[in-house]
Structure 1
Amino acid sequence: MSIVFAAIAPHGLPVLPELVGEGPDLMAKTRASLVELGRAAKTADPDAFIVITPHGIRAEGQFTLSASAYMEGELSEQTAALMVRAHRPDKGNFVHMRRAVDRELAREIAKFASPHLPLAVLNFATAEGPLSTLPLDWGTIIPLFFMPDRPVVVIQTAPSRPYEEHVRLGQAIRAACDALHRRAALIASCDWAHAHAEDGPYGYHEDAARLDAEVEQNIASGRLEELAAFPSEMIQNARPDGIWQALVLAGAVPKEERHPHVLSYERPTYFGMLCAQLV
């Protein structure tokens, strides 16, 4: 089995211990679950991490795959405060991350995906070497913070594309890992409904709680494909950003290989956060 670890993990910035600011207990439940996922990933000992993010480099109407030599990014306490609409410190802690890219795996995924899917393969500045570096987004940095240091492949989803294409992208990821005999860890970086609070940026809608409850049930039972069944109006009302990444994971990990375990769900601010291990 080439996918030796697979998880759904959130990406709210204050979950990082360095960025909790004035609320050290905020997201503590999720933080503990991410630590547990990190231990499980270390035990699985993958060759590379493949992170599926909603917040990476966007290309209209296309998936994107980063094939630079490196990826690098930084998150600050100020940015974390903005995310939860809290007081912004004048200065504070920050988290910096730089990772090598598994370019062979990235190109193999592109080879399997490109004939069938709209996929942009990205690089920056130079063909190779230290200047060939694309930015790491918070949807990637946050889950990777808790994981062992391994080369990465980062893929951006495309919500304007059909759900079935996201599943096919996952199938291409699996085919590439199989072809290279790569022991890969797959992380679907997902936050869920963003309309849980009147004072949040998207306001409140009762569909947020309903959607998150159904999401948790579907993930706990391993029925990831059913995440594609939410009515479009409910998605618009609840504003999740996890469905697309979870469907990519569904394509990469067949039902018979899923052993779902939901570690936690909480809604510490205006958006829902869930941690689950599938493999």
Structure 2
Amino acid sequence: MIQGTFMVPHPPLIVPEVGRGEEQKIQDTIDAYHEVGRRIGGLQPETIVLLSPHQIMYADYFHISPGNGAVGDLGQFGAGQVRFEVGYDREFVENLCKLADAGDLPAGTAGERERRLDHGTMVPLYFVNQYWKDYQLVRVGLSGLPLTDHYELGRRIRETAEVLGRRIVIIASGDLSHRLKADGPYGYQKEGPEYDRRIMQVMESGDFGELLEFSKDFCEKAGECGHRSFTVMAGALDRMEVETQRLSYEGPFGVGYGICTYTVKSLDMKRNFKEQYEEKEKNRIMELRRQEDEYVQLARKTVEEYVRTGKKIRIPEGLSGEMLERRAGVFVSIKKEGRLRGCIGTIQAVYPSIAQEIIENGVSAATRDPRFSPIEPEELDKLTITVDVLGDTEKIDSPDKLDVRRYGVVVTKGFKRGLLLPNLEGVDTVEEQIAIAKQKAGIGEQEQAELERFEVVRHY
């Protein structure tokens, strides 16, 4: 059973041996942390499940630490004398992996690159250990998978505790925005304070469905750290009425630190936030599909047929003359829950018509983008698709002739060539646009490269 869950930050500075007096500037956070430690000490859990964004992280897999245990210290923060040694709950880990596998959730103990404890784990344990030490640890990393998968991992954690009859506490370790102040370590973005305001409102109210509504672009601009940890914790509290309490919030160093606690009260079937979100998404996508033009309709038919049968469709009858007679480069972009799921295209025409270009690139975007695994049939109803038809490229002699909203960019150095489309979420400056295009081409950020620009017609 879940005895309690806790949202906490992990600034090493908060440990006196690291802060050396500076920690007094976040005294409210320290006081709240001690309250968390006292509450966990009072609960006396058999197992603590700790979710850390600084644990090993993969794009498409949740890593759960294997073995009997691990050690660590705060030496990288100048306090090597602050040491930790934990024993892992191997039975819990084994059962969690089995339940995840049974639910087709990619999680397991493979791929550990660093056995030592990370600071996202050690900082919370520094306070917990002052009040309770007779526990085993389950150390869980996060991933680049959708937030709904993080929520589902939380449900599997609770199910594991129930199957084993284990008394557990869950600690969701994570700072908030890292971009609250211009003189902070990561600078300022207007999304930073907005993120902290929104996330503290969500976490204080316990309205966890809102966690799934935060867009990837917004979270990245805010420089958040703990959102996925909080979402896993929320999943563990699925269909449960909880008593919430906000203990503190501070951000004096340009990074947000929030602490909230959650006590399970009873079952509440109306708090099935993942299902509510998925129903809302389903309705949104259905409405989008009703409005799709013939370019996107062709791309969707291509993707759905190939994913289901492995066969390419033929060019259907009734398409416009432009699609059948004009040649152009085409990019097909596929998203799932607001996150890119595949994007492949051609800078210039390769096939006899735009229609054929869409079919070929649609298949590639769905199954051959090296950044992602091939799309599975059960994902098809969750996909949004856009088709970009490229105009001719035009050489330019200066970045001043670019506009991230209007023009895409092609960078070339020797045989290396990279492209970035215009008007992309999260790309707000020409400098960012060029840097990403260079990265895609394998061109060094400081290397000189030839520039070309192009316009696109984006179809939804």
TM-score of the superposition, structure 1-length normalised?
A: 0.87
Q: Is the 8 A contact 1:59 1:120 kept in 2?
A: no
Following TM superposition, by how much is the alpha carbon of 1:255 offset from its aligned partner in structure 2, in angstroms?
4.8
Counterparts of 1:29 and 1:3, CA distance in 2: 27
Q: Which residue of 2 aligns with 1:120?
A: 108
- Give the aligned partner of residue 48 of structure 2: 49
Which residue of the partner structure matches residue 271 of structure 2?
A: none
Amino acid at match of 1:42: G
User: Which residue is equivalent to 1:96?
Assistant: 83
Q: Among residues 113, 124, 138, which one is paired with 1:143 in the alignment?
A: 124
**One-letter code aligned to 1:153:** V
Deviation per residue, 1:26-78 (Å, 9 max, x gap): 322111101000101111111010001100122342110012101111113x6
Name the CA distance, whole Å, in 2 between partners of 1:241 and 1:155: 15
CA distance in 2, matches of 1:247, 1:60: 16
Paired amino acid for 2:142: T
Q: Which range moved further: 91-100 or 133-142?
A: 91-100
Matching residue within 133, 153, 173 for 2:138? 153
The equivalent of 1:130 in structure 2 is: none
Change (3 A) 1:117 1:137: same
Instruction: Pick the aligned partner of 2:224 from 215, 229, 240.
Output: 240
Note the C-alpha offset of 1:124: 7.1
Aligned 8 A contact 1:51 1:189 in 2: yes
Contact 2:6 2:261 (C-alpha < 8 Å) held by counterparts: yes
**In 2, Cα distance between the equivalents of 1:153 and 1:8?**
16
Q: Which residue of 2 aligns with 1:16?
A: 15
1:114 CA displacement? 2.2
Contact 1:18 1:93 in 2 (8 A): no
Q: Which residue of 1 aligns with 2:165?
A: 181
Question: How far apart are the structure 2 equivalents of 1:188 and 1:274?
Answer: 11
Secondary structure class of the residue paired with 1:135: coil
Task: State the match for 1:211 in structure 2.
Answer: 195
Using a 3 Å threshold, how does the CA distance of structure 1 residues 92 and 47 change in structure 2: closer, same or farther? closer
> Residue in 2 aligned with 1:39?
38
Deviation at 1:248, TM superposition (A): 0.5
Judging changes above 3 Å, is the alpha-carbon distance between structure 1 residues 24 and 232 closer, same or farther for their aligned structure 2 residues?
closer
Q: Does 1:228 align with 2:212?
A: yes
C-alpha deviations, 1:65-106, integer Å up to 9, x for none? 012101111113x62xxxxxxxxxxx6564110000010011
> Over aligned residue pairs, what C-alpha RMSD do you find?
1.9
**Cα gap change, 1:123/1:230 in structure 2, threshold over 3 Å: closer, same or farther?**
closer
Query: Which residue type is aligned with residue 172 of structure 1?
Result: R
1:180-234 deviations in Å (ceiling 9; x for gaps)? 0000010000111111122334320111111101111111110122122123332
Q: Work out the CA distance in 2 between the residues paired with 1:169 and 1:215.
A: 20
Q: Which has the higher contact order (CA 8 A, sep 6+)?
A: 1
Q: Which residue of 2 aligns with 1:258?
A: 242
Q: What is the TM-score of this pair, normalised by structure 2?
A: 0.54
Stretches of structure 1 lacking an aligned partner (at least 5 in a row) = 80-90, 126-132
Name the aligned partner's letter for residue 154 of structure 1: R
Secondary structure of the 1:257 match is strand
* Residues 1:170 and 2:123 are matched in the alignment: no
Instruction: Kindly indicate whether the alpha-carbon contact (under 8 Å) linking 2:73 and 2:80 is maintained by their aligned counterparts in 1.
Output: no
Instruction: Give me the whole-angstrom Cα distance separating, in 2, the residues matched to 1:182 and 1:93.
Output: 33
Q: Distance in 2 between matches of 1:264 and 1:65?
A: 29
How many Å separate the matches in 2 of 1:256 and 1:19?
38
Shift of 1:21: 2.1
Do the aligned partners of residues 92 and 256 (structure 1) sit closer, same or farther apart at CA in structure 2, a change above 3 Å counting?
Answer: closer
Q: Which residue does 1:61 correspond to in 2?
A: 60
- Matches of 2:215 and 2:66 in 1, distance apart? 35
CA deviation after TM superposition for structure 1 residue 17, in Å: 2.2
Number of residue pairs matched by the alignment? 258
- The sequence identity of aligned pairs, in percent, is 29
Provide the rounded CA distance (Å) in 1 between the counterparts of 2:121 and 2:256: 17
Letter in 2 for 1:157: L
Q: Please say if residues 177 and 184 of structure 1, whose CA atoms lie closer than 8 Å, have aligned partners that are also in contact.
A: yes
Cα displacement (A) at 1:253: 1.2
Matched with 2:94 is 107
- Alpha-carbon shift at residue 112 of structure 1 (Å): 0.7
What is the rounded CA distance, in whole Å, between the counterparts of 2:11 and 2:46 in structure 1? 26
Q: Counterpart amino acid of 2:107?
A: L
Q: Is the 8 Å Cα contact of residues 9 and 189 (structure 1) preserved in structure 2?
A: yes
